[in-house]
Amino acid sequence: MQIHRSIRVGIGVVALAVVASACGGSGPKSAVESASDGKLTVGIKYDQPGLGLRNPGGSFTGFDVEVAKYVADKLGVEPQNISFKEAPSPQRETLITNGEVDYIVATYSITDARKQRVDFAGPYFLAGQSLLVQANNTDITGPESLSDAKKLCSVSGSTPAQTVKDRYARDVQLQEFDTYSACVEALRNGAVDAVTTDDIILAGYAARYPGELKIVGEPFTEEPYGIGLAKGDDESRAKINDAIDEMIADGSWERAFNDTVGASGYPVPPPPTVDRY
Ligand code: GLU
């Protein structure tokens, strides 16, 4: 029995070594390497109007989509050679570390905790966390008013819900779903009292259901959006940072913003400065 097991383990080790050498043994391709083969796989959101949205016909629209395409172009890849892949908040780091995407542009805040597993180019946008409630709600005016055991929805793998609980309202009841669109449905049918995430995301949903939902209070965190990519892929990160700088400098950033998020009435803010950490 003992012998059999060690033989099996031995075979397993050999099989792993063969797989590793077949892949070059050096893990997934860098974004620049994928681009030099003429293709990129980019993670975006599929359900966030104005930012990352998969339309019924299968096309993709939103500010993050425009940023993703501009960066791809600067890496030498035409839009038709980008494969977009859904990158829900709880899966983003894993999609990158598994090499399933070359980079992610998906309302993805740069945080120290995430930097343990992935790297970020950018920021390309500065958002802030806010609250969305039903338009006729009068008792929720900001994060402090969520005490009193209100039901608050956010997305697992994102930080907003926990921030409210930790900083403002210990007795708030958190409900975490996989997507913000699921939270918005829960808000519309009264299953939760409020949805929390970045103001720019909430603005897209408020615009989608005019007269039904509203944003309350001022933004209460800073959310710098980065382009997530494999940790240690410094060459790609430097090129993507250059692309973001160019997008801001040549006016494409502001144009893309107005053409996408602009429809929600969210005013175009000053662009951020890229942080080459
Ligand atoms: N920007 C926040 C985050 O990256 C919230 C938005 C999101 O989950 O995509 O967690």
Taking residues 22-51, report their average pLDDT: 86
Q: So what's the pLDDT on residue 145?
A: 87
Only one residue has tokens 């299968």, namely 58
User: With bands split at pLDDT 50, 70 and 90, how would you rate the model's confidence at 171?
Assistant: confident
107: left (phi over 0), alpha (psi -120 to 50) or beta: left
Taking residues 161-183, report their average pLDDT: 86
For the chain, list the domains and their CATH numbers.
31-126+224-264 (3.40.190.10), 129-216 (3.40.190.10)
- By mean pLDDT, which of 2-6, 21-25, 69-73, 268-272 is the weakest? 21-25
Q: How far is the CA of 106 from the centre of ligand 1 (A)?
A: 8
pLDDT over 90, % of the chain: 77
Instruction: Name the residue of 132, 197, 205, 225 to mutate for ligand 1: max ligand atoms within 8 A of Cβ.
Output: 197
Q: How far is the CA of 180 from the centre of ligand 1 (A)?
A: 10
| Residue 156 or 7, more confident | 156
Q: So what's the pLDDT on residue 56?
A: 96
Instruction: Name the residue of 201, 205, 222 to mutate for ligand 1: max ligand atoms within 8 A of Cβ.
Output: 201
